Amino acid sequence: MNKIDLVMNYLNKEKISGTKIFYGSCIENHSNTKDVDVCIITNKVVDEEFYDRYRQFLIDNKLVIDEEIRYKDKLFLSESKIESALESYSNQSEDFDLENDYRDVVNRLIINIFTTKVKLFDDDENYEEYSNRAWKEVLERFRNFGGKTFSDFIKIFKVNWDYKQYWGYSPKIIKDLYHRFYQYHSESEFIRLLKTNVIKHPQKIAVYSEAKNLTYEELDRFSDNVADSLLNFESKYVVVNYSHTYELLPIIFGILKSGKVYIPVDNTSPVKEIELIRKKFPDSIHISEVESDLDIPKIFSSNHRIVNYQKNKLAYIIHTSGTTGVPKGVCVTTSNLNYIMRACQSFAPVSISDCYLFSTRTTFDVSITEIFGFLYNGGSVYLFSVKNKNFYKELPNIINKFAITHVALSPSILGVLLKYSNEIGLQYINQLKYLLIAGEEFKYELLKIAEEKLKKVDVFNVYGPTETTVYATYFNVREISESFRLKNIVPIGKPLPGVETLIIDNELLIGGQGVADGYYNDVIQTEKKFTKINGSIFYHTGDIVEESNSLLVYRGRQDSQIQLYGIRLELGEIRTSIAQIINDSQRDLEVIFDNNMLILFYTGDKINNIREMLEKEMISYKIPSKYINIEEFPLTSNGKIDKKLLLEKVTSNEIRNHEENNIRAIVLNVVESVMQQQIKPDENLLDMGLNSLNSVEIILELEERLNIDLGSLNLYVNSSIEEMTKFIEKSQKLSSVKVTSIVEPKIELKNNPIIRNVEYRFPTFFYARIYNALNFDSQLTGKIYLRKEQISYEEIYHKLSKIEVFKSVLSNDLNYFEVLDTPINISRIEISDARLDISEELRNLVKNSKENNGLLYKFVLFEDENELVLHYSIDHSICDSSSIDALERYLLGINNLSKNYSSYIKEVHSRNKIDGLLREVERFDLQDDEKVSGVLVGINDRVNFTTLNYLSTETRNVYVEILLFLRDKFLKQYQLDNVKVNLIYNIRKFNEALDFTSTIGDLHLGLTYNLNLNDDIEETLEELINFYKENMFNPKAIGYKNFPNIGLDEKKIVKCFDDTVFISVDYLGVVSRKEFEKTKQITSEINKEIKKLNGHKMNITAYIVDNKLEIIFSKQFEKEKYE
């Protein structure tokens, strides 16, 4: 029993009631000491003999009697004693003499107890009240002595090893003091809340994400390290160009802690758009995953740095549309940020079990509430970008899995989500507490759908421009009155706490705590939009609003600013940008917003590929959806452009031609229904308003109507009704026709002759040595679909000839790859169906070539009337599955070819030395080899299957799920403490200089993971991956370097990292149900081949099939049979 339990038992026996407070050494790392620091908040008076009994209790339990301050003065703290300490604190001197200033020493101890780390029992909630008051007194004294930072606090209150002399604070609790200091001293709401959570819930998950979860302690530590690094820079502006990952929150928190200004840019924007903003802040600090002033991974991995947080009036600058073509930077203050955090908590409060969804782009101000709103009461946040292509499919499951309670969406996104969520998905969405809808007008039609499908969620229509800090008004749509229903109107509601509203000339003006500090370096626009009325600043929204039944109702815009996909856009800015790109002063052009899309009208000759021109220099949501070439602009009687007549031209003279073809009619019907306009069959949908939102909606609707999987349908490639119809027809045809081999007699496949003119040699990698020495036959066989207009045979041949491994053969002794000056092994054949299956023939050709010391692959380019299909079979010794993806991207011109395979092998060999690897053996060699081997030998070699849940298709997350399964179903069942597991992993980019992303070769790694019953699997796997990556760690490459000749040291390495790793897991990605069923049929044959390498090991293969994680085991280790 520890000493706290001993003391608690004793106090309970003595029937001592009140809040018990343990402090000092009782709760620190030096808790093995024998002294006891405890006090009780109580007004109860004990008998005099109690203190004698207490001393005897301490002696009996070999605990220290410490009466430097007498027990009767420090053991029981009455209300009057605490009040006396609080009242006298401000008049106390700096230095104390225990004998002459005894009463001041007692009072200082009481103050210290209420301002440091403690452990409470039987708390009746009075400790926190006294703690707040004590800190108020301490900080008042701190400020009176001129203190500003935590460094000043350390000096003023003498936090050093002589603390007892002054009755100050021990250095052992400096971290705790640091957190509590900013919990009470900071002017930033988010810092106070963050520190409160670090004190109360340090190990609670604050941030959930696919890649990594962060506890509150980690979130605080990482952001402190970012702040410390930023303080080395003079600039106060930080431009953040980062993807939607867990790193974002510590980065943003760190920027604000350092007193600098957070400026987000969209990492998916064209470079020109990003540079436009960066030019406004020429000396700014830039944080990015590519070119960055801060090395974020290195900063996160550093030891915790205590930082003197800095103050700044501004918190962040978010850019909105401007009429000049240059976005306006809205300057939002720390005070504004405090306001919106408290305002959201007032109507959508967060409790300790609640979880926000952070899905909004950082360049939109709604993201601010998601980044900071979860901090109240120890809540959490989950990162999941709305730009994720599977957002609508995955969101309901994520809501369920992470118990998400707070979600903010635009009306458009909510509409799609409700339309395509099935019954289970709607059940999950109904588990939300609060759904905040913002960014566009909340139409009454959407309200009816929400009321029908969302029975439990509180749905709020929230409104506010960026200039008034995210939200200014709110309305719970469940409270809508009959009068509004009769008018088909959803109000924007009433002002949030701290907001004032005025309606002047039908325009809504907003004042109060959320009004921003104007526009960055734009005095003219600031003075125009921000007006002082009766001593208060009000922002001119430009929104036409009326008041009805004490609620505000949105009626439209005064100017040309519109809202699209939840984003406010200035039509003038868009027109200016397009005019600059077209750069033709002889043309007239106009941008009009109609039917929820942007339409560009222009005069002069028709501009071919106009959309492609704009895509290169404009962000996607500003690019018009439709392009109308006209002779001249029609004018009204007063000389203005007649927009009504222009819009009539959009649909005039479009002759409908509904074919008898049923699929085509369905496609046409779906596309027109989703895009809400008439469309010609050959019209490019990219020019008609196709975007990421409605493209998802089209595919989902077609899948439902046609009962077909269209996961491979890319509407940006097949972008017309005709092309979509052909794609679907061909998919249906291929799914119904089974072709097993070449049936056309004219086709004859053979290997091309090679010229054995050796240009150079490079060492073989260990995979090639093992595969060939053991006669292991493994080939990667498949097809790459190409369009005739995309690439020619000559281009394909030329590109393949640049790839080192496609000119390489193995030397007879297996020591080298010999690179030949020889033709590429490719055949070109015209055929009636380019998709004909020739995989078996290709495998035989490669096997034959290999047996004759020839090239290790075969390509065949089939060309039919419609397409080119490049069939391939490549020996595993020169290619892994990631190389196939790299090859396809290279051929299509998406990626350039990177370093040769020989460069990769050279780097691996140079960075892995035997001495260093032998030192790592002890770290990895933790399992009882004999026991684990005995268990696996006793398990039947019998292929079986199971299905697991998963969150993400990312490899590391899949491996986490499998490792959790193995821990629960294998380690526990066979009572094993530790098992080594080989995880097939692909690391191709080790740093900027060692980037093998596009390298063609066998680069796959086997990570040795020590699985035990106690580790945090996700965190341990993350650390293991980073270790392999940072060190380019590859022990098997050295252990097997001279295989089959292995020395004594190499044997030690091989034993640790291969021979005694009895379980191997390989995740092969997403496949169709048809592909998976085909794989299942040949699994036994595959395992027989793998046993040549692995013997009696257990092989586990994983696939994602129909949104399920399907697992294949080579052994039946569970007692019950899998279905």
**Tokens 């509590």, residue located:** 180
DSSP 133-172: HHHHHHHHHHHHTT--SHHHHHHHTT-STTHHHHT---GG
The C-alpha angle 439, 440, 445, rounded to 5 degrees, equals 135
**Topology, domain 186-312:** Rossmann fold (3.40.50)
What are the two backbone dihedrals, phi and then psi, of residue 907, each rounded to the nearest 5 degrees?
-65, -45
Q: How far apart are CA 112 and CA 205, in angstroms?
A: 30
Q: Could you tell me which residues are beta bridge partners of residue 954?
A: none
Residues in the chain: 1123
More confident call, 897 vs 512: 512
The C-alpha angle 536, 539, 540, rounded to 5 degrees, equals 130
Residue 616's identity, in one-letter code, is K
Reported confidence tier of residue 587, pLDDT bands at 50, 70, 90: confident
Q: How far apart are CA 385 and CA 740, in angstroms?
A: 42
List, in order, residues 6 or more apart from 303 with CB less than 8 Å away: none
Beta strands in 764-866 (DSSP E): 779-787, 808-810, 816-820, 826-830, 857-863
Strands 355-358 and 380-383: parallel
Look at residues 715, 635, 636, 633 and name the one whose alpha carbon lies nearest to residue 679: 715
pLDDT of 658 higher than 50: no
**What does the pLDDT read at residue 660?**
38
Q: What share of the chain has pLDDT > 70, as a percent?
A: 90
Beta strands in 253-295 (DSSP E): 261-264, 285-288
CATH of 906-1113, one of 3.30.1380, 3.30.559, 1.20.1740, 3.30.70: 3.30.559
**What does the pLDDT read at residue 168?**
67
Strands 499-504 and 494-495: unpaired
- What are the structure tokens assigned to 251, written together? 């980065």
Q: How far apart are CA 418 and CA 392, in angstroms?
A: 9
Q: What is the pLDDT of residues 895-953, one digit of tens each?
A: 777 789 999 999 999 999 999 999 998 889 888 989 998 888 888 888 888 888 766 56
Look at residues 724, 722, 709, 903 and name the one whose alpha carbon lies nearest to residue 803: 903
**Tokens 């109702």, residue located:** 553
Q: What is the pLDDT of residues 112-148, one digit of tens each?
A: 999 988 888 887 778 989 999 999 999 998 999 899 9
The CATH H-level superfamily of 563-651 is: ANL, C-terminal domain (3.30.300.30)
DSSP 464-514: --GGG-S-SEEEEGGG--HHHHHHT----BEEPTTEEEEEETTEEEEEETT
More confident call, 698 vs 260: 260
Strands 1098-1105 and 1108-1113: antiparallel
For the chain, the domains span: 3-178, 186-312, 563-651, 662-736, 758-897, 906-1113
Average pLDDT over residues 809-822: 90
Q: How far apart are CA 51 and CA 877, in angstroms?
A: 80
Reported confidence tier of residue 184, pLDDT bands at 50, 70, 90: very high
Strands 536-548 and 507-512: antiparallel
Return the CATH number of the domain spanning residue range 662-736.
Answer: 1.10.1200.10
Q: What share of the chain has pLDDT > 90, as a percent?
A: 45
Q: Could you tell me which residues are beta bridge partners of residue 600?
A: 591, 627
Residue 306's identity, in one-letter code, is I
Strands 76-77 and 38-41: parallel
**What does the pLDDT read at residue 692?**
57
**What does the pLDDT read at residue 253?**
98
- What are the structure tokens assigned to 206, written together? 């604050």
Contact criterion met (CB below 8 Å) for 678 and 612: no
pLDDT of 1122 higher than 60: no
Beta strands in 107-260 (DSSP E): 118-121, 205-208, 214-215, 237-241
Average pLDDT over residues 242-267: 95
**What does the pLDDT read at residue 746?**
57
- What dihedral angle (degrees, nearest 10) is formed by the CA atoms of 208, 211, 216, 220? -140
Q: How far apart are CA 638 and CA 636, in angstroms?
A: 5
Q: What is the pLDDT of residues 545-584, one digit of tens each?
A: 999 999 999 987 777 677 776 677 778 778 878 988 988 8
User: 811-840 burial, b for 16+ CB within 10 Å, e for fewer?
Assistant: eeebebbbbbebebbbbebebebbbbbbbe
Q: How far apart are CA 141 and CA 144, in angstroms?
A: 5
- What are the structure tokens assigned to 872, written together? 């391939």
More confident call, 68 vs 396: 396
What is the longest distance spanned by two Cα atoms in the chain?
112
**What does the pLDDT read at residue 953?**
60
Helix (H) or strand (E) holding 982: strand 978-985
Reported confidence tier of residue 327, pLDDT bands at 50, 70, 90: confident
Instruction: Please measure the distance between the N-terminal and C-terminal CA atoms of the chain and give it in whole angstroms.
Output: 48
Same-fold call for 758-897 versus 906-1113: yes
pLDDT of 264 higher than 50: yes
Average pLDDT over residues 190-211: 93
Q: How far apart are CA 837 and CA 149, in angstroms?
A: 72
Q: What is the pLDDT of residues 414-451, one digit of tens each?
A: 888 888 888 999 999 999 999 999 988 898 888 989 99
Q: What is the pLDDT of residues 141-177, one digit of tens each?
A: 899 989 999 999 988 887 876 655 555 677 778 888 9
Contact criterion met (CB below 8 Å) for 1012 and 978: yes
List, in order, residues 6 or more apart from 122 with CB less than 8 Å away: 17, 18, 19, 20
Alpha-carbon distances, residue 605 vs 197, 608, 629, 831, 1094 (angstroms): 63, 9, 8, 41, 68
Q: How far apart are CA 331 and CA 344, in angstroms?
A: 20
Contact criterion met (CB below 8 Å) for 814 and 775: no
**What does the pLDDT read at residue 795?**
84
Reported confidence tier of residue 325, pLDDT bands at 50, 70, 90: low
CATH of 758-897, one of 3.40.50.2020, 3.30.559.10, 3.40.50.11030, 3.30.70.370: 3.30.559.10
**What does the pLDDT read at residue 30?**
44
pTM, rounded to two decimals: 0.60
Give long-range contacts, CB 8 A cutoff, 24+ apart: 648-653: 649/601, 650/594, 650/599, 650/626, 650/677, 651/677, 651/678
Mean pLDDT across the chain: 86
